[in-house]
Amino acid sequence: MTTQHLMFIALVATAVHVTNSQINTLPKVSVQNSNVTLGEDANIKCYYTLSDTTRTLYSVQWLNSTSAGDELNILVNTLISNPNSRYQVDITIETPQTGVATLTIINIDLPDDGYYQCRIVDSSGETGEDYGKLDVNLNAQPTSVTVMVPDTVKVAEDAIISCIYTLVTADSLLQLVWTKADQDGQQVGDTLLATGQTTNGRYRLSNDNDLIITNVKVNDTSNYLCKITTTKENSANDHASLTVQYLNNPVLEPQELSVMVNETAMFTCSSLDGVPTPITVTWCKGDVILNTADTDKYSYSDSALIINKVNVSDEGDYQCRAENAAYRGMQGKLSNTASLKLDCKYTHIPLSLTSFLDEKRTTTAAAAVLLLPPLLLLLCYCC
């Protein structure tokens, strides 16, 4: 072997030794992959070990790219001030040569999905690095809205309609709007109330964004639509139908009724209107409910009362009381008062003086009428 060959082998051996020595002196770095839900904060951990006890941690750099091998963007360098507060580095030194450099990313968004590189530089200027993958997942529960209406609300009460919404993590409500809607949920008319407003006539917005309708009226029966938009430009809406329960006062006719003894009298109860249905009618005389189970005396329906064989005990004031599921008993609606009177039958009966005397059979009475012509007596009977 020539001298030149020996010199070449020596140079190669020296180079290999230097290269191995350099590799052995580099910091060892390991980055963990991480999964995070959209809107949450991400923590990516970088574990490092320095080569020997003479070296200490000098600096940490975090870089990222959307895919492996792409150009890296420096996010954080502990040697300089941090220009973006979304990225924060926390260094935990476990021993003088080992530790964890954690990159925290505030309020993760979809563009944050990608690869992150951790570079560890020791006090000798040696650098070690490793990549980790951050996967950003969509929230399993997207932005949604549910409108809840009260089961029952009556005229003159207050109705509270709730808008219950769910936002993705770290998203927040930007605006909430209440309107009326058609059956398909399409807006009808102007906005009733929106975020930032508190009142609009009979409409009020609670601290929880509930729509409160004070002193509800029949025409408040409608579909109500709640629409929300968020700071992340998400939107959702829902609608529900509010039904106002009511019952009108019925009308009793005729207001005055006169019939002959033993004839038939009939009252009608009209203008029966309300929600919910059906509407039933109770018949009253004075303050007493009629015993309409007496079918010989009464024939009735929800709109008419027939009194058979009228006599003097049937005279008086009558009312009908309308009821439905929302207005029962004393909450039912009374009609106006109608009166029933009897017409008396009159007859003229000529009586002779003899018959009058025979009937009375009193001398005093006879003497009193001797000078009178035959009497024409007027009799009235109502029984």
Say how far apart CA 300 and CA 283 lie, in whole Å: 9
Residue 374 pLDDT class (50, 70, 90 cuts):
very low
pLDDT value for 65: 86
Rounded to the nearest angstrom, the gap between the alpha carbon of residue 124 and the centroid of all alpha carbons in its chain is 66
Residues 89/101, Cβ–Cβ less than 8 Å: yes
Look at 61-75, 80-94, 204-218, 283-297 and tell me which has the smallest mean pLDDT: 61-75
pLDDT in tens, 49-90: 999 889 999 999 999 987 766 778 899 999 988 878 899 999
* Predicted TM-score (pTM) of this structure: 0.59
Using DSSP, state whether 219 is helix, strand or coil.
helix
The tokens for 92 are: 């935990």
Say how far apart CA 306 and CA 318 lie, in whole Å: 12
pLDDT value for 140: 57
Which of the 8 DSSP states describes residue 8?
A: H
Q: How close are the terminal C-alpha atoms of the chain, in Å? A: 158
Using a pLDDT cut of 90, give the percent of the chain over it.
69
Sign of the C-alpha dihedral, residues 309, 313, 317, 322? negative
Highest mean pLDDT among 32-36, 221-225, 298-302, 367-371: 221-225
Q: Which fold has domain 24-137?
A: Immunoglobulin-like (2.60.40)
Say how far apart CA 230 and CA 244 lie, in whole Å: 32
Look at 63-72, 175-184, 302-311, 351-360 and tell me which has the smallest mean pLDDT: 351-360
Q: Which fold has domain 144-242?
A: Immunoglobulin-like (2.60.40)
pLDDT in tens, 84-124: 889 999 999 999 999 999 999 999 988 999 999 999 999 99
pLDDT value for 260: 95
Say how far apart CA 54 and CA 93 lie, in whole Å: 15
pLDDT value for 382: 52
pLDDT value for 119: 96
| Pairing assessment for the beta strands 298-300 and 304-307 based on DSSP bridges | antiparallel
Mean pLDDT of 16-39: 76
Residue 17 pLDDT class (50, 70, 90 cuts):
very low
Show me where the domains of the chain are located: 24-137, 144-242, 248-343, 345-381
User: How far, in Å, are 37, 39, 82, 86, 176 from residue 234 at the CA level?
Assistant: 16, 13, 31, 22, 12
Mean pLDDT of 308-318: 96
144-242 and 248-343 share one CATH topology?
yes
Residues 261/342, Cβ–Cβ less than 8 Å: yes
pLDDT value for 143: 84
- Mean pLDDT for all residues in the chain: 86
pLDDT surpassing 50 at residue 318: yes
pLDDT in tens, 341-370: 998 764 444 444 445 445 544 444 444 444
pLDDT value for 3: 53
Q: Which fold has domain 248-343?
A: Immunoglobulin-like (2.60.40)
pLDDT value for 25: 86
pLDDT in tens, 240-263: 999 999 999 999 999 999 999 999
pLDDT value for 52: 87
